[in-house]
Amino acid sequence: MTLLLQLLLNAIVNASVYSLLAVGFGLVYRSMRFFHIAYGAVYIIASYAVIYGMDSIGIPLYLSLGAGLLIGVLAGIAMDRAVYLPLERRGASTAVLFIASLGLYILIVNFIALMFGNEVKILSRGMEPSFQMGSFVITRMQGIQFLTGWIFVIVFWLIIRKNTFMKGIWAMGETPALVMALGLPYRAMRTAVFMLSSVFAGTASILTALDVGIDPHVGMQALLTGAVAVIVGGVDVFWGWIAGALILAILQSIAVWQFSARWNDLITFGILIAVLLFRPQGLFSPRKRREER
Amino acid sequence: MNYILHLLIMIGIYLILSYGLNLVVGFGGLLSLCQAVFYGIGAYASTLLMMKTGISFVPAIFISMVITGLFALIVGVPALRFRGDSFVLVTLGLQMIVFTILYNWVDFTRGPYGIPGIPRPVIAGYKFSALHDYLLLVAVFLVIIIGILFIIYKSPFGLAVKALRDDEMAAEGLGKSPVHLFLYAFVISGMVASLSGGLYATYVTYIDPTSFTLDESIFILAILLVGGTGNRIGPFIGTVFMILLPEALRFLGLPDTVAPNVRQMIYGLTLIVLMFFRPQGIAGEYKVQ
C-alpha cells in the first residue's frame, strides 16, 4: 500500500512536468490547429543549450538555464517565421504543415545528435538530496519539478483569464479569419504563441534533464506525451489538458505498480485510441452540436 | 558487386512496401503512420511459422499475409472512422502499441534479443542463399505484386478510392462506400507490407523489434511523400532516392559515425523543401490535404 501511495506521489510530480508539455503543445494546437511536431525539437534544443553553456563555455548553472530557455524560445519563433508562416501564406493545408514540421523535427534532432552524440547526457552530478515525509520519500528535484510546474500552469491560467491579448489568442483557434478582420495583430499573436509554447517545452525539458539526463531522441516522446494529454483531456478546455496529464501520469504509475514501466507506451496510446474512439472531443469538452464543429 | 546486389534487394523490398502504401496514401489520401506494423507482423509471423512449425517459405509467406490482412481488417474498422489529424494519431498510437508488444512479449517474440538464424527460403528443393539468387526471388515477387497492384490502380475499385479521396461526400452520393473501399485499400496495403516483411526477415536472417519502429513508419511514408503518390512512377522515384541517398553520401567519404545522422538530416530537409515547392512530391499527382 505504501508503495502505491509513493507511486501516486511520483505520479503527481510527473503530472506537473506533463502539464507543462501539454500546455506548450496545446497552445499551438488550439490556436493554430496544426500538429507542431517540431515542438519535440524545441524540447531538445533547450536542454542541449544548457549543456553546451555549462560544459563547453563554462558559464554557471543558473545562467545557462536562462540561456537555454532563451535559445529554446528563439528556436520556436524562428521555426514559425522560417517555415510555418511562409507555408501558411501559400495556403498550405494542415497536412502540409504537419509534414514540414516532421521534416523540421528530423532535421534538428539529427543535427543535435551529430554535434553532441547520441548518448544520454547528464546535467547534474552527484547524489540528489531527498526528504523523508512519514514513510514517503521525495527528492529535492521532484520538489522543484512539482512547484515549478504548478506555478507555471496557474500563472498562465490567470493570464489567459485576465489579459485581452491572451484572450485573443484563445479566440484565434475558433475563427482564425476573424483575427485579421477585427484588426488584431495576427503576427504578434503567432509569435506570442510560439514564444510561450517554447517556454513551456524548455522548462519541462530542463526540469527533466536535471533529474534523469537527456538524449537527442526523447523529443518525440515528450511531444507525444503533451499531445496525448491535450487530446485526452479535450482540446478546447484548458483544465482538460492538465487533467489529461494527471490521468496519464496516474495510470502510468498504476501500470508500474502492477506490471512494469516497459508497458507505459501501451497505456499512453491505449488511452489515446480509446478516447478518440469513444469521446473524440476529449474527456472534459462539452459535446458540440454538429453545426458548431 | 555484392554491395550492388544488396542495394538492389533492399530497393526491391522497399518498392513492394511503397507501392502497397501508395494505395492508402496516394489513392485514399490518408496519411498512415503504421505501415511498419504490418511490415513487422509479416516478418515475425513468417519467421515464427517457419521456425516453430517447420512449414516452408511460400506457404509461410501466404499464411502470414492472411494473418496480417485479418489484423489490418480488425484495426482498420475503427481506425478508418477518422480522417485527417485523427487518422494520423490513431495509426501512430497503433504503431506505438504494437511496437511495445513486440518488444516486451519476450516469451513469444524474444523481445529485444531478436530472432537470429532465420533460414533462407527453399522453394521446390532449391535454396535461395546466394545474393544473386535472392535478388531473383525478390524480383519475381516484385513483378507479381506490382502487376497485381497496377491492375488494382486502374480498376474501378482504384478509381473509386481516388474519387473518395477527392470528394468523399460526392463519391458517397454516387454509391461508393468509404467504409468498405478504404478498408479494402488498407487491408491490401497491409498484406503487401507483410510480404515485404517476410522477404526482409529471410534476407537479413535476423529480426528484432527495432526494425519496425515509428521511425521506420515515418521512413516508409517519407518515401511516398518525397517520390510522389497517386500514380505509378512516384513510389519508384521515392524508393530509389531514399535508398540510394545514404550510399551516395558514403561515396562522398563521410565517416560511418556521422553518416546516419547526415542522411536523416537530408531527408528532413527534403521534406521541408518539398512542402514549399512541390507538395505533391517529385513525381506525384496528389497533393496531401
Cell digits of residue A138: 521525495
* A194: Cα within 13 Å, side-chain hemisphere: 28
Give Cα separations from A165 to A184, A190, B80, B154 (angstroms).
Answer: 9, 11, 39, 54
Domains along chain A with CATH numbers: 2-124+135-283 (1.10.3470)
Q: Which chain A residues contact residue B85 at CB under 8 A? A: 35, 94, 98
Cross-chain residue pair B275–A266, CB shorter than 8 Å: no
The secondary structure of chain A, three-state, reads CHHHHHHHHHHHHHHHHHHHHHHHHHHHHHHHCCCCCCHHHHHHHHHHHHHHHHHHHCCCHHHHHHHHHHHHHHHHHHHHHHHHHHHHHCCCCHHHHHHHHHHHHHHHHHHHHHHHCCCCECCCCCCCCEEEECCEEEEHHHHHHHHHHHHHHHHHHHHHHHCHHHHHHHHHCCCHHHHHHCCCCHHHHHHHHHHHHHHHHHHHHHHHHHHHCECCCCHHHHHHHHHHHHHHHCCCCHHHHHHHHHHHHHHHHHHHHHCCHHHHHHHHHHHHHHHHHHCCCCCCCCCCCHHHC
On the 0-12 / 13-18 / 19+ scale of CB atoms within 10 A, A135 is exposed
* Position B137 pLDDT exceeds 90: no
Residue B225 is assigned to a structural domain of this protein: no
Judged by DSSP in three states, B187 sits in helix
* Position B161 pLDDT exceeds 60: yes
> Percentage of chain B surpassing pLDDT 90?
20
Residue B262 is assigned to a structural domain of this protein: no
Give the model's pLDDT for residue B66.
Answer: 93
- Report whether B199 contacts B141 (CB < 8 A): yes
> Percentage of chain A surpassing pLDDT 90?
18
* Position A37 pLDDT exceeds 60: yes
pLDDT, chain A, mean: 84
> Percentage of chain A surpassing pLDDT 70?
96
Give the model's pLDDT for residue B195.
Answer: 92
ipTM rounded to 2 decimals: 0.86
Judged by DSSP in three states, B95 sits in helix
Give the model's pLDDT for residue B222.
Answer: 87
Residue A291 pLDDT class (50, 70, 90 cuts): low
Give the model's pLDDT for residue A101.
Answer: 92
Give the model's pLDDT for residue A108.
Answer: 92
Cross-chain residue pair A103–B288, CB shorter than 8 Å: no
Residue B239: closest CA among B230, B251, B228: B228
* Position A293 pLDDT exceeds 60: no
* Position A105 pLDDT exceeds 90: yes
* Position A290 pLDDT exceeds 70: no
Condensed to tens digits (0 to 9), the pLDDT of residues B8-48 reads 888 999 999 999 998 898 888 888 998 999 999 999 999 88
Cross-chain residue pair A107–B272, CB shorter than 8 Å: yes
A117 touches chain B (CB under 8 A): no
Nearest chain B CA: its distance from A242 CA (Å): 20
Nearest CA in chain A to B97: A266
Residue A73's φ and ψ, nearest 5 degrees, are -65, -45
DSSP state of B233: S
Cross-chain residue pair A227–B82, CB shorter than 8 Å: no
Nearest CA in chain A to B281: A96
Residue B224: closest CA among B33, B75, B40, B5: B33
* Position A165 pLDDT exceeds 90: no
Residue B206 is assigned to a structural domain of this protein: yes
Of A110, A224, A277, the CB nearest to B265: A110
* Position B7 pLDDT exceeds 80: yes
Residue B224 is assigned to a structural domain of this protein: no
Give the model's pLDDT for residue A127.
Answer: 65
Average pLDDT of span B214-233: 86
Domain tally, chain B: 1
Give the model's pLDDT for residue A159.
Answer: 85
Residue A280: closest CA among A222, A233, A220: A233
Give the model's pLDDT for residue B40.
Answer: 92
A84 touches chain B (CB under 8 A): no
With residue B144 as reference, give the H or E element that holds it. helix B131-154
Give the model's pLDDT for residue B197.
Answer: 92
Give the model's pLDDT for residue A74.
Answer: 93
Residue B146 is assigned to a structural domain of this protein: yes
Give Cα separations from A242 to A152, A232, B63, B194 (angstroms).
Answer: 12, 10, 46, 40
Cross-chain residue pair A110–B268, CB shorter than 8 Å: yes
Residue A289 pLDDT class (50, 70, 90 cuts): low
Give the model's pLDDT for residue B121.
Answer: 79
- Tell me which of A30, A99, A105 to substitute to probe the interface with B (most B C-beta atoms closer than 10 Å): A99
Give the model's pLDDT for residue A292.
Answer: 59
Cross-chain residue pair B31–A95, CB shorter than 8 Å: yes
Give the structural domain span for B51: 2-212
Residue A166 pLDDT class (50, 70, 90 cuts): confident
Average pLDDT of span B233-253: 82
Average pLDDT of span A16-28: 91
Cross-chain residue pair A100–B271, CB shorter than 8 Å: yes
What whole-number distance in Å separates Cα of residue A194 and Cα of residue A90?
A: 20
Condensed to tens digits (0 to 9), the pLDDT of residues A258-276 reads 777 778 888 888 888 888 8
Give the model's pLDDT for residue B65.
Answer: 92
Neighbours of B114 (CB within 10 A): 14
Condensed to tens digits (0 to 9), the pLDDT of residues A190-223 reads 888 899 999 999 999 988 888 888 888 888 889 9
Of A95, A106, A111, the CB nearest to B289: A95
- Tell me which of B33, B88, B97, B256 to substitute to probe the interface with A (most A C-beta atoms closer than 10 Å): B97
* Position A280 pLDDT exceeds 90: no
- Taking one residue from A and the other from B, the number of pairs with CB-CB distance under 8 angstroms is 113
Name residues 163-222 of chain A within 8 A of B (Cβ): 220
Give the model's pLDDT for residue A68.
Answer: 87
Cross-chain residue pair A266–B97, CB shorter than 8 Å: yes
Judged by DSSP in three states, B207 sits in strand
Provide the whole-model pTM: 0.89
Average pLDDT of span B200-227: 87
Give the model's pLDDT for residue B227.
Answer: 84
Condensed to tens digits (0 to 9), the pLDDT of residues A115-156 reads 887 788 877 666 667 777 777 777 878 888 888 889 988 888
pLDDT, chain B, mean: 86
- Tell me which of A89, A258, A266, A271 to substitute to probe the interface with B (most B C-beta atoms closer than 10 Å): A266
